[in-house]
């Protein structure tokens, strides 16, 4: 049994292999840099009005009564929030665009949830915490620097366009990091781990860029 099979179970193996092939080929790369102060659409992207569904072949269904979000690692105050604890936090609403590495972008998405800036004020990362690793219920992981995770518009979203996030789009809670390609915005979030040393995640070790800035076309490599 392969590592992927043991880790993810019923994966769409062909999808995984195809996306790795895209990384090797540099699919969708234009070689042009964008200007985020002027251009709303990053290079190589096209606007869509729908919200395409992309995942690893698993869409976990987490009942509200079993929901838990753990925040631990290099923090002063580790927490485990159940659904009620999450909903008891100060509410936040942000409107932002989605940019997917598969070359589509969707404008003006309304997210309701808990601002990461508030989360940080609760857990108080230690000075040596330089990175976060995001863990999802399907076994997926991805990584961010604490600096990028701390951006003012990053949100733990439980609702989209005024309705609870559906399972296919990462509900009950997903991260939304607007400044990066959407693979950095983990669906089905269950744990946020603060670490000193970077730990590239599922796609990052399979040829995707470690940062994922759409205006730099950070789709693959490094």
Residue 131 DSSP SS3:
strand
Q: Say if CB 126 and CB 74 are below 8 A apart.
A: yes
Q: Please name which of 61, 48, 210 lies closest in space to residue 142, comparing C-alpha atoms.
A: 210
CB neighbourhood size of 101 (10 A): 27
Q: Say if CB 211 and CB 90 are below 8 A apart.
A: no
DSSP letter (8 states) at residue 182: G
Q: Say if CB 153 and CB 185 are below 8 A apart.
A: no
Q: Report the pLDDT averaged over residues 179-186.
A: 97
Q: Please name which of 207, 218, 220 lies closest in space to residue 33, comparing C-alpha atoms.
A: 218
Cα–Cα dist 55/182, whole Å: 11
Q: How far is CA 222 from CA 38, 159, 207, 210, in A?
A: 26, 33, 8, 6
pLDDT grade, residue 19 (50/70/90)?
A: low
With a CB cutoff of 8 Å and minimum separation 6, the contacts of 17 are: none
Output the pLDDT for position 179: 96
Burial code (b: 16+ CB inside 10 Å, e: under 16) for 169-195 equals: bbbbbbbbbbbbbbbbbbbbbbbbbbb
- In this predicted structure, the answer to whether residue 184 has a pLDDT above a threshold of 80 is yes
- In this predicted structure, the answer to whether residue 21 has a pLDDT above a threshold of 50 is yes
Output the pLDDT for position 63: 93
- In this predicted structure, the answer to whether residue 8 has a pLDDT above a threshold of 80 is no
pTM of the full predicted structure? 0.88
Q: Say if CB 4 and CB 191 are below 8 A apart.
A: no
Output the pLDDT for position 73: 98
Choices 1.20.58.220, 3.40.50.720, 3.90.420.10, 3.40.980.10: CATH for 3-216: 3.90.420.10
pLDDT digits (tens, 9 = 90+) for 127-154: 999 999 999 999 999 999 999 999 999 9
pLDDT digits (tens, 9 = 90+) for 92-116: 999 999 999 999 999 999 999 999 9
Q: Report the pLDDT averaged over residues 186-199.
A: 98
pLDDT grade, residue 15 (50/70/90)?
A: low
CB neighbourhood size of 91 (10 A): 13
Say what percent of the chain tops pLDDT 70: 85
């Amino acid at each position: 049994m392969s590592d992927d099979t043991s880790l993810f179970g019923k994966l769409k193996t062909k999808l995984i292999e195809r996306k790795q092939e895209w990384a090797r080929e540099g699919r969708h790369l234009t070689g042009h840099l964008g200007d985020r102060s002027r251009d709303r659409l990053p290079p190589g992207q096209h606007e869509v009005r729908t919200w395409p569904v992309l995942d690893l072949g698993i869409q976990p269904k987490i009942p509200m009564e079993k929901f838990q979000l753990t925040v631990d690692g290099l923090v002063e105050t580790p927490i485990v929030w159940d659904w009620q604890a999450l909903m008891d936090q100060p509410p936040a609403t942000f409107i932002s665009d989605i940019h997917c590495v598969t070359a589509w972008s969707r404008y003006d998405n309304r997210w309701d949830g808990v601002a990461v800036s508030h989360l940080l004020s609760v857990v108080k990362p230690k000075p040596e915490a330089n990175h976060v690793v995001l863990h999802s219920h399907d076994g997926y992981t991805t990584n961010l620097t604490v600096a990028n995770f701390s951006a003012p518009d990053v949100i733990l979203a439980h609702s989209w366009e005024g309705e609870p996030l559906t399972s296919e789009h990462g509900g009950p809670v997903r991260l939304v990091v607007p400044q990066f390609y959407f693979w950095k915005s983990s669906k089905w979030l269950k744990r946020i781990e603060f670490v000193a040393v970077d730990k590239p995640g599922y796609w990052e070790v399979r040829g995707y860029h470690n940062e994922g800035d759409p205006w730099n076309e950070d789709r693959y490599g490094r």
